[in-house]
Amino acid sequence: MLQRPRGTRDFLPDEMEARREIEGRMREAARRFGYGQVRTPVFEELELFTLRSGPGIVNEMYAFEDKGGRALSLRPELTAPVLRLYVNEARVLPKPLRWYYFDDCFRYERPQKGRYRQFWQFGAELIGADTAMADAEVILLADAALRAAGVEFELKVGHLALLRSLLADLEEGPRRAVMALLDKREFGALSALLGELGRPDLADPLGALVGATTLDEAFSVTGPLAEEARLRELVDLLDAAGLRYTLNFGIVRGLDYYTGMVFEGFAPNLGAENQIVGGGAYRLAHLFGGEDTPSCGFAIGFDRVMVALGAVALPRQRTVAVLSTPEGASAALRAASAFREAGLRTEVDLSGRGLGTQLARASRTADFAVLVGAREAEAGVVAIKDLASGVQETLPLGAAVIRAAGREVDGPGAR
């Protein structure tokens, strides 16, 4: 028996219904902020991703050569493809551009809870705006999308200028090592490393910055910075919007990628892999042949959203089961079409068994059973049974549709 590839999943109809419901809520949140959906190819030139992240990322990707010898890769994330799309197709459009996306990505990594080799991202990019208001909008959209999904999460907002100012004198290799220990909050190992680097003086300031919970505490560590006014404006905007968040100046992932504001969100019930959203301000367009363009965005791990939610309570869909004898089959199909046109989920029994057996099966899944036999077909009516109350009526098709839809039957559509 052939098995699905490791790190991928199959989704049965009930799970797909749940995923589409949550996806729809998040899409609606983006629409209300004025964002429109974009879509990029599932594979891109390999260089698109190595330009941003370096050649080391290739080991984590599904990279390959096509029949023409071109180096390609299944997309491991969506920000770079969206910025490539901007450079290729949209540089002359009025700015800012408000785009969102929902698509699958692929990474070759060890599968674990909430982390797969094929996974889905929901995200947004605000391109061409460089203000505190733009930063605030992106954070508020991420918060709105997660709240629309129904996820419980903690949002943390920071700014990389502060950490960057403390690490400015370190070379790239030592800086990355320091960042890795800061990310893990391994302060003992961090002190030892800084001693080896001849910079033990950084231990206390770094610890104080990571522990700072207010702007005043943070800037007392670094001293005045050019970014201070904008960061204070951002905090004022988020507070005015009523956002629930905490300040965190120890966000270190993306120090070589993000240019200013950064934020992360964590779902407490996901265990160790609990980050559910990450984003910030960045500049990528110039890497792909465009002008230097300010941008701000985020990506939400949709699979982690679904894991965090557990069982999703779907909106109740009224279901109609259409049952028939062989003599009533044609009329039954016409009846089913009428119920579907009214927006009702309608299933036709295909078993060919007796009406009693069909009715027993329908009672397990449907709200109404519509019975069409030879007599009903000849008279141009249907028998409709409310499977909850047991009440059965014989009505014209239009009246039966109205009854199943939950409206009165004595209106113009009853005939």
CATH number attached to the domain at 319-408: 3.40.50.800
Residue whose pair of structure tokens reads 């993000």 in the numeric block: 258
13-309: what fold? BirA Bifunctional Protein; domain 2 (3.30.930)
Q: How far apart are the C-alpha atoms of 44 and 63, rounded to whole Å?
A: 10
What is the number of alpha carbons within 13 Å of residue 195 lying toward its C-beta? 6
Q: Reduced to 3 states, what is the DSSP secondary structure of residue 299? A: strand
246-247/258-266 β-pairing: unpaired
Q: Which two tokens stand for residue 390?
A: 């047991």
Q: How far apart are the C-alpha atoms of 282 and 265, rounded to whole Å?
A: 18
Q: How many CB atoms lie within 10 A of CB 314?
A: 12
Q: Which two tokens stand for residue 365?
A: 């899944």
Distances in whole angstroms, Cα of residue 18 to Cα of each of 28, 37, 306, 308, 346? 16, 21, 9, 13, 19
- Give the pLDDT of residue 407: 57
- Give the pLDDT of residue 242: 97
DSSP state of 314: P
Q: Which two tokens stand for residue 239?
A: 């507070």
Spell out the per-residue pLDDT of the chain, length 415, in tens. Answer: 899 999 999 999 999 999 999 999 999 999 999 999 999 999 999 999 998 777 778 989 999 999 999 999 999 999 999 999 999 999 999 999 999 999 999 999 887 766 789 999 999 999 999 999 999 999 999 999 999 999 999 999 999 999 989 988 888 888 888 888 887 788 889 899 999 999 999 999 998 999 999 999 999 999 999 999 999 999 999 999 999 999 999 888 776 788 899 999 999 888 777 899 999 999 999 999 999 999 999 999 999 999 999 888 787 789 999 999 999 999 999 999 999 999 999 999 999 999 999 999 999 989 999 999 999 999 999 999 999 999 999 999 999 999 999 854 443 333 3
- The set of residues, in sequence order, having a beta carbon less than 8 Å from that of 74 and lying 6+ positions away, is 42, 43, 61, 62, 105, 106
Rounded to 5 degrees, φ, ψ at 127 are -110, 125
Q: What is the length of the chain?
A: 415
- Parse the chain into domains and list their residue ranges: 13-309, 319-408
- Give the pLDDT of residue 333: 97
Residue whose pair of structure tokens reads 């504001």 in the numeric block: 261
Q: Which two tokens stand for residue 306?
A: 């679904």
Q: Which two tokens stand for residue 155?
A: 């949002």
- Give the pLDDT of residue 57: 84
Angle at 225 between CA 217 and CA 186, to 5 degrees: 50
Predicted TM-score (pTM) of the model is 0.89
Closest Cα partner for 341 from 326, 320, 359? 320
* H or E element at residue 401: helix 397-404
- Give the pLDDT of residue 186: 86
- Helix ranges (H only) for 310-373 are 329-341, 355-362
Q: Reduced to 3 states, what is the DSSP secondary structure of residue 180? A: helix
Residue whose pair of structure tokens reads 């969102």 in the numeric block: 100
> Does residue 124 contact residue 98 with C-beta atoms inside 8 Å?
yes
Q: How far apart are the C-alpha atoms of 338 and 241, rounded to whole Å?
A: 47
Q: Reduced to 3 states, what is the DSSP secondary structure of residue 347? A: strand
Closest Cα partner for 282 from 34, 88, 52? 52
Is there a common fold for 13-309 and 319-408?
no
Strands (E), 75-168: 97-106, 118-127, 154-159
Rounded to 5 degrees, φ, ψ at 105 are -130, 170
- What angle separates helix 203-211 from helix 172-184, to the nearest 10 degrees? 50
